[in-house]
Structure 1
Amino acid sequence: MFSINRFTLSILLLSTLLLFSLTACSADTDDDSDHDAGPSADAPELLIPASISADIEPQFENDNLYLNDYSNFLHAVQIMATVSRDSEYGHEAYRPDLYTDGMSRNAELFLELTAMIDYHFNDEGKIAPRLKPSGDGYAAAGDPELSIYPHLVYAYHIHHRSGRFDYDPTLYERLNREATNYLVTPGRYLLDEHYRDGFFHDSNGDTNSRSMSYGLGGLHGHAYAWIVWKKPGGEDTMGVLPQSSLEHFMGYSPESMTDIYREIARTLDEAWDGERTIYDFDDGTTWPLDAVGALIRGKKAMYDMLWMFGDDDDREMARTVFDRTAAILESVAGLAESWGMPAEIEFTGDGAVAASDIVNLYDWYQFLNHLGGGYGFDRERDGTAMFITDHREDLFDLIGELSDNALLGVMEHHLNEEGRLITSVNYSDGSPADERMTVSTAGMFIATAGNIYRKGDSFERASDWDSVSDEIAARSRELFDLKFDHFELMLEVVKD
């Protein structure tokens, strides 16, 4: 999660304690779901709309500001910052001015946004889903929506890539310490308030396929911190922290995390429906696509944690968890058209089938990023379980094919006449269903495309354009342009 040198350690310890003390003073005092839930009631420095009109005007729903839009804009910013290095967007064959000026500019914006979201939405990990107008500003409102957490915690990825900013020691240090509270408290909250005895429950106290998948997905940042601490090479990053210090930050030791994953493994084992190749938590076997993606990412963290920190029985269970995760992915992969997967999937004894006529593009991009973004399903390094590398290399090919077809499908099916991303298409033929352009969809597209474009063989980074075919180089440039066009549109409508 973090890349921390020894000089940073003392600063990080102090800044974390200060951040914790600043946020600890906020508490809910009203049981109404529309209550003011956050630590502030003034206006954010940046107003991020839900959608962008055809004439490039910001569109705010009911004058509210939504966490998901801030979070997904943040993901776009962090990708544009980290992938603008001199081998990719900042290469001389594309936009050399981005390295290092563009990187620094977007890294500064990332820091501004994390501080803003942390202050306005975050109450010790209890993340308000929206800000509603209140007096001259805004107040956080609503109960936490667990579906947001799996990608909310993905904000750690710029921390993981902070070494790309070592050309500026001050910026490097800031990236390694300023977002700590925002990165740590959501996982603590999920475990403290939504987990018990192997089950995740939602804000209503119910356990179902959504609460289990979103809870597991939202926990992967916590798991990754310990996995990086443990794996070879980790002594240069998380490993500079003694175990006691990292436990203080995370709130959970590797032993307690392993115990939690053991409990969850038993819960999953009891819920496994081998005939339908999915888990059934007594709410049926029809799942939303975003929950399937969150489950896959969450289980990846789970089996790595069991394998790295557990005993022989845990390692055996880790392999079972992996095999079932792979089976779920293979089951749904057959539903992928070039324009995406259905918004809901029914798992049957005859395989997975579409349970929706619509492809929700935001959820489709989320699913792809769960497979290949950050600590995604395909990320394997020495010291981790390495199950794909050692036992199922064909899954790399599967993810590569999915990624290639998806990005080619974006350019063919997901753009309106003005070349802007739309919100949904019909699953039957990829025709437009909702032609609005939303910030969350555009933000997730930018993040996903930046992470998966080299999983297959249809696209290549700029530094290699002179060694691939003209077709691949031109197609890659077109994809880069598409990301920049949408990023610049979002920057245009984000209001001070």
Structure 2
Amino acid sequence: MRTLERTSLLIGGMALGLGTVAHADMITVPAGLDEDGEAVRDDDQAQTSDAVAAMAALTVVGRNMRAAEMGHERHEPGLDEAPMESVGKRWLALLDSVQAGYMDEDRLMSGHADGAATDSDASMATLADGMYIYHMHHSGGRFAAHDLEDDLVFQPAAMLSMLTAQMLDAYHEDGHFGLNDDDDVDGTELAYGLDAWHGAAYAWIRHGKSDGEGDMGLVDEDQLEAWMHHTPDDLVDMAHAFADTLDAAWDDDAGVYDFGSGTTWQLDELGSLIRGHKALYEVLYFFDGDADRAEELFHRTADMVEAIVGDGGLVQDWGLPEAVSFEDGSASADGDVDVAAQWRFIHHLTGGFAFTRESSDLSSFLSDDREGLTDSIGEAVDRMVLGALHYQMPMGELARTVDHGDGAIIDDTLRTRTVTAFLVGSGNAYSSGKQLAPPDAWEEDDDVAQATAAFYAGFLNQAQLLQDELIGSDW
């Protein structure tokens, strides 16, 4: 493992290295770097999954550079100026590159090679990650001082529209995604499909919510229908069909879904399923007024989450297992810590329109009925964010795999998906507990100040690695 030392991120050094990339340049993102710092390409192509993961990470990095967080005068004043502006511009450049080099007309493909998109469609998991561009789309206001708000609000609309059409036209059937030849439900495809559908659902929810007037609310409803290829009524019909499919697979004894392959789930798939559930129960609550069915889906979600992060769950300082087996309402670890999967799971609980996020006009099931679960998630985040600094990145770079039994590093290969997952997951979640908080709270608690400053340093190390060495690595 190479040792990573962070250089200054202040304006003078422009250490994020984004200012030299022209808006129209083609950017490729490798799968990782080898021991010599050379780009690694899976299957001799730049994978779309790495590109959209990098976009998600840039979103969180840029958002967190604001003056109220990492750019605060108590931490590193100036991050909210030129560095933050450059992150926004790099995100837009990467958006251009994905649309120009990873798409074939109106379809997202699996990768980029030889100057063009490959000839195979992106996986459902990649579509789900691609749909997460809504988070930057809804964050344009944070970049208003840099004259990027309009670009960030409106430029992603075309890609969101195309991904929604691809998801619904190519993969969706009534209540299902990715049916196999036997017409059985594929739990993995359904999980990632609901994750992707979540982005489309939130577009409509944001459009209708009172606090969405400054972004999605700016779009005429007829125009949004044309872009999204469905109406709110269609969305409700889809939600009921998905709920019917889920009802048929729920194993009440195990406390999880069984689609015919048992009650062991990959953590990454389960995280996507949980994010999809958030969209389902909020659509039913907000657009259909079906609070009873919405609440039932919520409590299933909460039961799965609590089995993993609640008392007696699977949280270790060094992470969560790559797979989880459910029995009698309890969860047991299956495998070691896939660092990327762990942070993606935390992101699904806390980032964007996620399980822990409650707001006006929507349900308040979590705060009304399961308030203790919010505390459990916060405690888990505290342990894993601070534990990551010691166990997952002891030499600066993130390990790929860690032993779930004792925290020892098993695989220290540097992968883009690991770096991006950490940035997205930890960057969204870090203030969920009590041991870390933005700088406004630092005067009240020295321990919180020191812990958060240490996390910020580790986070910005990974941000610099992503932007200086991974994004745009030589082909």
TM-score under structure 2 length normalisation: 0.89
Task: Give CA deviations for 1:197-252 in whole Å, capped at 9, x if unaligned.
Answer: 21111687763110111111111111111111222233343223332121111111
- Separation in 2, partners of 1:75, 1:264: 26
Secondary structure of the residue that 1:167 maps to in structure 2? helix
Residue 403 of structure 2 is matched in structure 1 by 426
1:354 and 1:125 mapped to 2: Cα distance?
A: 41
**Structure 1, 269-278 or 72-81: larger mean CA deviation:** 72-81
Structure 1 residue 489, shift from structure 2 partner = 1.9
Is residue 39 of structure 2 the alignment partner of residue 58 of structure 1?
Answer: yes
Tell me by how many angstroms 1:64 deviates. 1.7
Equivalent of 1:186 in 163, 181, 193: 163
Verify the 8 A CA contact 1:201 1:211 in the aligned structure 2: yes
Aligned to 1:29: none
Q: How does 1:4-15 map to 2 (within 5 A)?
A: none
Q: Which residue of 2 aligns with 1:335?
A: 314
Q: For the Cα contact (< 8 Å) 1:258–1:305, is it kept in 2?
A: yes
Please give the per-residue CA displacement for 1:141-174, whole angstroms capped at 9, x wherever unaligned. Answer: 43431122333211211121111122244x1111
What residue in structure 1 maps to residue 15 of structure 2?
Answer: none
| Pick aligned residue for 1:269 from 247, 251, 255 | 247
Structure 1 spans left out of the alignment, 5+ residues: 1-42
1:321 deviates by: 0.5
The letter for the 2-side match of 1:490 is: L
Distance, in Å, in 2 between the alignment partners of 1:444 and 1:122 is 23
CA contact 1:336–1:402 (8 Å) conserved in 2: yes
Aligned 8 A contact 2:255 2:329 in 1: no
Structure 2: state its 5+ residue gaps. 1-23
Deviations along 1:268-307, one digit per CA (max 9) or x if unpaired, are 1111110011111122222110111001110001100000
Structure 2 residue 330 is matched with structure 1 residue 354: no
Cα distance in structure 2, aligned partners of 1:459 and 1:305: 32
Match for residue 30 of structure 1?
none
Please tell me whether residue 84 in structure 1 is matched to residue 37 in structure 2. no
* Equivalent position of 2:95 in the other structure: 114
Compute the TM-score of the two structures, normalised by the length of structure 1.
0.85
- Alpha-carbon separation, structure 2, partners of 1:344 and 1:84: 33
Using the TM superposition, give the Cα deviation of residue 395 of structure 1 relative to its aligned residue in structure 2, in angstroms: 1.9
Whole-Å separation in 1 of the counterparts to 2:473 and 2:78: 25
Deviation per CA, 1:159-194: give whole Å up to 9, x if none.
21111122244x111111112122232222212221
Aligned to 2:7: none
Matched, 1:387 2:368: no
The whole-number CA distance in structure 2 between the counterparts of 1:409 and 1:125 is 42
Q: Deviations over 1:8-39 (max 9, x none)?
A: xxxxxxxxxxxxxxxxxxxxxxxxxxxxxxxx
Report the CA distance between 1:332 and its aligned residue.
2.2
Superposition pairs of residues 313-324 of structure 1, within 5 angstroms: 314-324=290-300
- 1:9-88 matches, within 5 Å, as 45-88=26-69
Letter in 2 for 1:174: D
Contact preservation (8 Å) 1:335, 1:353:
yes
What do residues 56-79 of structure 1 show as CA deviations (whole Å, max 9, x unaligned)?
332233432111211222122122
The alignment covers a number of residue pairs equal to 445
2:342 pairs with 1:364: yes
- Alpha-carbon contact 1:147-1:210 (below 8 Å) kept: no
Q: Structure 1's 74 and 235: CA in aligned 2 closer, same or farther, altered over 3 A?
A: closer
Q: Alpha-carbon deviations, 1:323-380, whole Å to 9, x = none?
A: 1111111122212222222111222236222232x21111111000000011111111
Q: Distance in 2 between matches of 1:213 and 1:56?
A: 35
CA RMSD of aligned residues (A): 2.0
| Residue pairs, 1:390-401, within 5 angstroms | 390-401=368-379
User: Within 2, Cα distance between the matches of 1:413 and 1:47?
Assistant: 30
Aligned to 1:201: 178
Of residues 315, 319, 324, the one that matches 1:345 is 324
SS at match of 2:362: coil
Alignment partner, residue 298 of structure 1:
276
Contact 2:32 2:39 in 1 (8 A): yes
Match of 1:476 in 2: 452
Q: Kindly, what percent of the aligned residue pairs are identical?
A: 31
Contact 2:103 2:117 in 1 (8 A): no
Partner AA of 2:451 in structure 1: R
